[in-house]
Amino acid sequence: MKLGTRIMGAGFATAALMTAAAMVSPVDAKTRVAVGATETISSHNPHGDSISMGYGIWCQVYGCLGFFDFKTGSYKGMLAERWEIDKKDPNVWTFYLRKGLKRHNDGKELTSADVVHSFWRMKNDPQSRQTQNVKHVAKTEALDKYTVRVTTKKPTAPLLEFLFDRVMITSKDLYDKHGSKIADRKHPWGWGPYKLKKIEIGQRIVLEKDPGNRWASKSMPDELMFRVMREAEQRVTALLNKEIQIAQFIPPHLASRIAKSKNANLVPTSSVELMFLAMSPKHKPWDNATLRKAVCHAINRDAIIKAILKGQANRLDAPIGQGQYGYDPEAAKKMKVEYDVAKGKALLKKAGMVGLKVELHTPVGRYVNDKQVTESMIPMLKAIGLDARLKTPEWATLWANVQKGKVPFFYMGRGGVVDPSPAFAQYFETNGSPRIGFSNANVDRLLQKERATFDPEARKKVLNQAFAEIVKHQPACFMWRHKLLYGIAKNVSYKPTPTGRIWGYAISVK
Amino acid sequence: MLNYITRRVIGTIPVIILISLLVFMLVQAAPGDPADLLLSDEATPEDIASARERWGLNQPVYVQYWKFLVAALQGDLGTSFRYADPVLLMIGDRLPATVELAVVAILIAVFIGVPLGVWAGARPNSWVDNVGSFFGFFGISMPSFWFGIMLILIVSGFLNLLPSAGRNTYGIADDPITGFYILDSLLHWNWKAVWDGISYIILPAIALGTNMLGILMRVTRSSVLEVMHDDFVRTARAKGLSEHKVLWRHAVRNALIPIITVVGLELGTLLSGSIIVETVFSWPGSGSLLIEALNSRDYPLITGTVLTYTFIFVIINLTIDILYAAIDPRIRFDK
C-alpha cells in the first residue's frame, strides 16, 4: 500500500472514530439541567466552604432557615416559617420552624435540636469556613420542638443577612451517631428539595429532586448538575453544543456568540458585587482627602462602561445600587461624584500633589475585564496630573496584601452585598478590617446606629446618612456593579439571581 | 544490573528530600497566606488566627518542614488545608486521570511522530519530509493552552464532533476498578463508556501530545537520517534486502536510542504540561488539582503533588536507563 493511501486510510479511521464517539449520548434521566459553573465546593462538609455556589447547593439539599427574595425585595422563610424580634430585648430573635418537614430517605422530622446543633457546628467544626456567619450570635436555644431562640451579642438588625441561606441545617442525630465525616459523606440527608446524588470534587456535583418534598415542584428539573468549567470559552462552547443548559458569567466579548445562537439566550442580571477604587488613608499620600476626591473626579465611569464593559455594568452613583437594601434614588443623586477633569486638576493642585507618582494595583482575570478597566484609568489619572502606574500582581499575593492593609491604592469588588451592613462595617468602620484602614467617628456612629435600628424605614435612612458620610471623605470611589451575563438554553427557563446562587426551584424545563 | 538499579534507587532518596525542602521553602516564601485565601471574605481576624493555629502555620518553618518530612517518610503527606482530606488520598484519586491523559498523548505522539520522522528521514527533501517537518514545527511551536482553546472552538464548537470539557458523561460509567476510566470501562465490558471515555480524552490528549509529536518527529528524522549513511545499512542493502526491510529492521532499530531518551524526558514534560491542558479542558486530574492548590496556597497539597511528580519523573528516568540496556546490548551498567 502506498504511503498516501495509508495516510488517507488513517484519516478516515480517525474521522469514523470521532463520529462514533460523538454519537455517544448521555444516559436519559428524567429532566436534567447541567450548569457550567466557575467555582466548586471543596468537600462534603456543608460548612467547609464559604462560596456563593456552595451556599446555594447546600441550602437546596440540607435546607436553610430562609433566603432573600429578589422579586419582593424581602426575606422569605424556608425551614423557618416565621420569626420575630423581642420587643423588649432586641438581642432576642425567635424562629418558628415549619412542622411536619420530612428528611430525605428516612422521613425524620426537622426539630429545633437540629437548628441548635447546626449553629454549634458552624462555630466549632474545625473545617468550618462559615464562623463569620454566626459571629453576632451569643446563644442558641431550643424553646420547644419547633421554636429556636437566638440571642445576639449586640442588637443586630441585619442578622438575617448573616443567617438566611448561610446557615445550613444539618441533622443532630446523624452527627451524633456517625460523626461529621461519615454523616456528611454517607448520610447527606436534609430537608431541601434536592438530595445529594454525587460529588466528584473538581468535576461535578449532582443533585436529584426529592419528589415528595414540600418545595419540589413538577416543573423543576429532576436532576441538577453543576459542572466545573473555569474557562469562559469552554462554557460558551458547551452551552452551544448542548452539553450544558446554563452557562454562568459570560464575559462581554463572548456575549455575541450566544446572542447569535439558535440554541441559547443571553440573560443579564445585575450583580450585587460593588466594584470600587480603594484609597487607604493610613498610607501617605492617601491620608489626604483632597487627593482622594481628585481621583474620584478623574475617572470617567460612563466611558469605561461603554467602551470596555460593553454596557454590561450599572454605574454606582451612591455606594450601593438599585435592588440592594437601603437604596434610595434621591439620596443617590446627591451623592453622585461627577466626572470632571478640571475639578480633579484643581483639587490635585490644591493638595499640592501635581506630578505625584502613584501605583494602582489590580487583579487580573478576577473581575470582568479588570486589567483593561484599570489600564484605561491610568491616562485618566494622568489627565488630572497624577503620574500613575499599573501593578498587576498575582491574585493570591494581591489579596493577601489587601487583607493585611498593605496596598494603598487598588481596584476591587465586594460580593454578596444584599444588605450592605456587613460589607460596609468590614470596609469602612474603624477596625472592621485592615483592608482600607479608614476610620471616621461619624461613620462609625452611623453604622453602629443602623445595626441597632430595627424599623426598616428608619434603618434605611440611617444607612443613607452613613453612605453620604463615606462619600464625603471618599476612602473609595464607587464604580459600578457588573451585569452578570448568563447563557441559557432555549428549552430552559431561568431568571438568574444577583448573588450568583443557582436555585433549582427557579428553573423549569420546557 | 541489580547493583546498578539498587544504586540508582538509593541515589533518588536525597534527590527527593532535597526537592521536598526546595518546594517547601519556595511555597512558604511565596506571598499570600493560606488562611487569608481560604477563609471567607468576611472572616474575622480571630477566624484567620484560629485557622493558622490549626494548620500549624504559627510554628517556625524548620519545625513545619521537619514534621512534614517525618510524616512523609511514614507515607503521610499531610492533610489539605482546603479539602481537609489526606493529600496522598487526593493525589491517588486524581493521578489516574492525569496518567491516562499522558498515556494517550504519548500514544498519539509516538504513533504519529515516529512514523512521520522515519518516513521523512528516509526520504529527505521529499514531499513526505516537507509535510512531516511542517507537523514537527507546528507541534513544537504551538503553545498547548492556545492549541487547546482552538480545538475546543473548532472541533467542539464549530464542528460539534467532540465534547469540550470534563472526563466522561455522567451516568454511563460503572464503578471504578483502577481509576483509569477507559481501562475500567473495558474491564466492565461497557463499550458505551469506552467510546464515551475516548470522546472526552481525544482533544486534551491531542493538545498535550502535539508538542511531543513535533519533537519526536524531528529527533526521529535526524536520527534515521544519520544511521541511513552508516556502514551496516550499506551492508544490508548489499545483501539485497528490500528498502522497506533495511529501513524498519536495521535503520529504525539503531535509531531508537535517542528516540527513547526523548520519550522519557518528554514524559516528565507531559506531566507538567498536563497542568495547563487539564485546566483548559476541565480535566479532573492532578494537574488541575495542583493549580487549585497553588491558587489557594494549600501548602501540603502543593508539596505533596510536586513530590509525587518528582518521584514519577525519577522513576521514568530510571526505567529509560534500564531500557537502554535492553535495546542496545553494547550498554552494560555493571562495568
Whether B51 is in a domain gets the answer no
Does residue B215 fall inside a structural domain? yes
Taking contacts as CB-CB distances below 8 angstroms, the residues of chain B near A21 are 161-162, 195-196, 198-199, 202
- % of chain A exceeding 70 in pLDDT: 94
Nearest by CB to residue B198, choosing from A21, A26, A29, is A21
Partner residue opposite A400 with nearest CB, options B36, B83, B163 = B36
pLDDT confidence of residue A485: 93
Of B128, B165, B294, the CB nearest to A238: B165
Instruction: In whole angstroms, give the CA distance from residue B273 to residue A202.
Output: 19
Which residues, other chains included, contact A408 with Cβ-Cβ below 8 Å and sequence gap of 6+? A279, A280, A283, A286, A358, A359
Cβ–Cβ of A231/B279 closer than 8 Å?
A: yes
Chain A touched by B40 (CB under 8 Å): yes
8 Å CB contact of A27 and B165 = no
Q: Which residues of B touch A429 (CB under 8 A)?
A: none
Residue B28 lies in a domain: no
**Size of the A and B interface in Cβ pairs below 8 Å:** 162
Give the total number of structural domains in chain B: 1
Q: A256-304, pLDDT tens digit by residue?
A: 999 999 999 999 998 999 999 999 999 999 999 999 999 999 999 999 9
* pLDDT on residue B331: 66
Contact at CB, B39 and A129, closer than 8 angstroms: yes
What is the three-class DSSP state of A382? helix
Write out the DSSP string of B210-275. HHHHHHHHHHHHHHHHHHTTSHHHHHHHHTT--HHHIIIIIIHHHHHHHHHHHHHHHHHHHHHHHH
What distance in Å separates the CA atoms of residue A367 and residue A271, rounded to the nearest whole number?
12
- Give Cβ neighbours of residue B84 (< 8 Å, ≥ 6 apart): A42, A43, A45, A48, A127
pLDDT the model gives residue A9: 53
Give the pLDDT confidence score for residue A7 in this predicted structure. 46
Residue A27 in contact with partner chain B when CB distance is under 8 A? yes
Cell digits of residue A252: 462581554
Which residue in B85, B280, B297 is closest to A231 by CB distance?
B280
Q: A174: how many CB neighbours lie within 10 A of its CB? A: 23
- State residue B333's pLDDT score: 57
B213 belongs to a structural domain: yes
Q: What is the DSSP letter of A291?
A: H
> With 60 as the cut, is the pLDDT of residue A18 above it?
no
Of A225, A236, A399, the CB nearest to B36: A399
Q: Whole-angstrom Cα distance, residue B83 to residue B103?
A: 28
The domain in which residue B152 lies consists of 87-327
Residue B139 placed within a domain: yes
Contact (CB<8Å) A401/B199: no
B42 touches chain A (CB under 8 A): yes
Interface test with A, best of B27, B28, B40, B91 (most A CBs within 10 A): B40
> In this structure, are residues B38 and B81 in contact, taking their beta carbons and an 8 Å threshold?
yes
In a domain, B33, yes or no: no
Q: Which residue in B has a C-alpha nearest to residue A20's C-alpha? A: B195
Q: With 80 as the cut, is the pLDDT of residue A193 above it? A: yes
Angle between helices B252-280 and B144-151 (to 10 degrees): 70
B218 vs B209: CA distance, rounded Å: 14
In order of start, what are the domains of chain A with their CATH numbers? 14-24+31-40+202-270+484-509 (3.40.190.10), 62-178 (3.90.76.10), 274-481 (3.10.105.10)
Q: What is the pLDDT of residues A342-398, one digit of tens each?
A: 999 999 999 999 999 999 999 998 899 999 999 999 999 999 999 999 999 988 889
Of B30, B33, B165, the CB nearest to A234: B165
Surface of A (240-259) touching B: CB under 8 A: 240-241, 243
Cell of B84: 481537609
Q: Is the pLDDT of residue A318 over 80?
A: yes
Q: Is the pLDDT of residue A163 over 90?
A: yes
Task: Answer left, alpha or beta for residue A156, where phi above 0 means left and psi between -120 and 50 means alpha.
Answer: beta
Closest to A50 in 3D by CA, of A111, A112, A125: A125
| Contact by Cβ (8 Å): A8, A201 | no
Whether residue B281 lies inside any domain: the answer is: yes
C-alpha cell at B175: 464503578
Give me the residues of chain B with pLDDT under 70, please: 329-335
A20, A202, A225: residue with CB nearest B195: A20
Answer whether residue B310 is part of any domain: yes
Q: How many Å apart are CA A407 and CA A280, to the nearest integer? A: 8
pLDDT digits (tens, 9 = 90+) for B261-275: 888 778 878 887 888
Does A132 contact B83 at a Cβ distance shorter than 8 Å?
no
Count Cα atoms within 13 angstroms, Cβ side, for B80.
24
Position B86 scores a pLDDT of 93
- Regarding an ipTM greater than 0.85, the answer is no
d(CA A160, CA A426): 17
* Residue B153 near chain A (CB below 8 Å): yes
User: Exposed, middle or buried by CB within 10 Å (0-12, 13-18, 19+), for B305?
Assistant: buried
φ and ψ at residue A278, rounded to 5 degrees: -95, 140
- Residue A378: what pLDDT? 97
Compute the nearest-CA separation of A79 from chain B (Å).
25
- Enter the pTM of the model: 0.85
* pLDDT over 50 at A508, yes or no: yes
Nearest CB neighbour to A422, from listed B42, B167, B199 = B42
Considering only residues 115 to 154 of chain A, which have any Cβ-Cβ distance to chain B shorter than 8 Å? Answer: 126-127, 129-133, 135
**Rounded (10°) CA dihedral B275, B278, B284, B289:** 30
Confidence bin at A22 (pLDDT 50/70/90): very low
Q: Does A431 touch chain B (CB under 8 A)?
A: no
Q: b/e for A381-417, b at 16 or more Cβ within 10 A?
A: beebbbebeeebbeebbbbbbbbeebbbbbbbbbbbb
Mean pLDDT of A329-347: 96
- Using only the alpha carbons of chain A, give its radius of gyration: 25
A229 in reach of chain B (CB within 8 A): yes
**A349 Cα to chain B: minimum distance (Å):** 37
Which value, to the nearest 10 degrees, does the dihedral of the CA atoms of residues A342, A346, A348, A350 take? -170
Residue in chain A nearest B51 by alpha carbon: A126
pLDDT value at residue B112:
92
CATH number at residue B276: 1.10.3720.10
A225: chain B residues, CB-CB within 8 Å: 170
Give the per-residue pLDDT at B202: 96
CA distance B32 to chain A (A): 5
Residue A5 in contact with partner chain B when CB distance is under 8 A: no
Buried b (16+ CB within 10 A) or exposed e, A180-204: beebbeebbbbbbbbbbbebbbbbb
